[in-house]
């Protein structure tokens, strides 16, 4: 029962076609490193998704913060999770804009960002569920939980679009 070898492909390629000669590599890298900011990341889908996540987390935090609380532990957890997620997304956004990942290559930045999204999304989902359950139809608390769910969906979309893995079956010749 031969099923063939399975190949897992990701969006990121570690290898690729041979680069240009060393003369042009030095001149092209000097030009790209001279720019302080990556202007293309502002307009990219990933950059706009990070901004949408930060805005929805901030609105959720402000909505809950300015409401009358009925359960201190539920909403303090929601506030802590939203602020920690907001700070980490801002950290990775700044890291991409200023190209810090090129200078600090001792850290696996894609793995660090993936783990942040994985843990942060799970905690944000739990916090949003608890906040929605304890809202007692108070508009500010319902709005905060709603924006928490929106931020959770945006984080899942960002994680899925950045780290999707496609499995294909490759036949082996004997």
Task: For residue range 98-147, list pLDDT tens digits in order.
Answer: 998 888 889 888 889 999 999 999 999 999 999 999 988 899 999 999 99
The pLDDT tens digits for 146-158 are 999 999 999 999 9
Q: Which of 54-58, 109-113, 170-174 has the lowest mean pLDDT?
A: 170-174
For residue 24, what pLDDT is reported? Answer: 46
Q: What are the C-alpha distances in Å from 37 to residues 13, 32, 50, 98?
A: 24, 10, 17, 5
3-class DSSP state of 165: strand
Helices (H), 12-71: 22-34, 39-43, 45-65
15 has pLDDT over 50: no
28 has pLDDT over 50: no
When pLDDT is averaged across residues 8-31 and rounded to a whole number, the result is: 46
Length of the chain: 174
d(CA 135, CA 140): 9
d(CA 80, CA 98): 27
For residue 25, what pLDDT is reported? Answer: 44
Decide which of 94 and 19 is more confident.
94
d(CA 46, CA 14): 20
């Amino acid at each position: 029962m031969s099923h063939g070898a399975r190949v897992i492909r990701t969006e990121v390629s570690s290898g690729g076609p041979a680069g240009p000669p060393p003369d042009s590599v030095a001149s092209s890298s000097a030009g790209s490193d001279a720019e302080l900011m990556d202007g293309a990341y502002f307009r990219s889908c990933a950059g706009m998704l990070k901004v949408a996540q930060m805005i929805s987390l901030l609105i959720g935090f402000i909505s809950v913060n300015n409401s009358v609380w009925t359960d201190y532990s539920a909403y303090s957890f929601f506030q802590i999770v939203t602020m920690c997620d907001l700070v980490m997304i801002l950290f990775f956004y700044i890291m991409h804009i200023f190209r810090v990942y090129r200078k600090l290559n001792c850290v696996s930045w894609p793995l660090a960002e993936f783990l942040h999204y994985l843990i942060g999304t799970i905690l944000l989902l739990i916090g949003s569920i608890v906040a929605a359950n304890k809202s007692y139809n108070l508009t500010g608390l319902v709005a905060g939980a709603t924006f928490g769910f929106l931020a959770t969906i945006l984080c899942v979309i960002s994680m899925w679009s950045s780290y999707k893995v496609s499995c294909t079956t490759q036949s082996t010749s004997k």
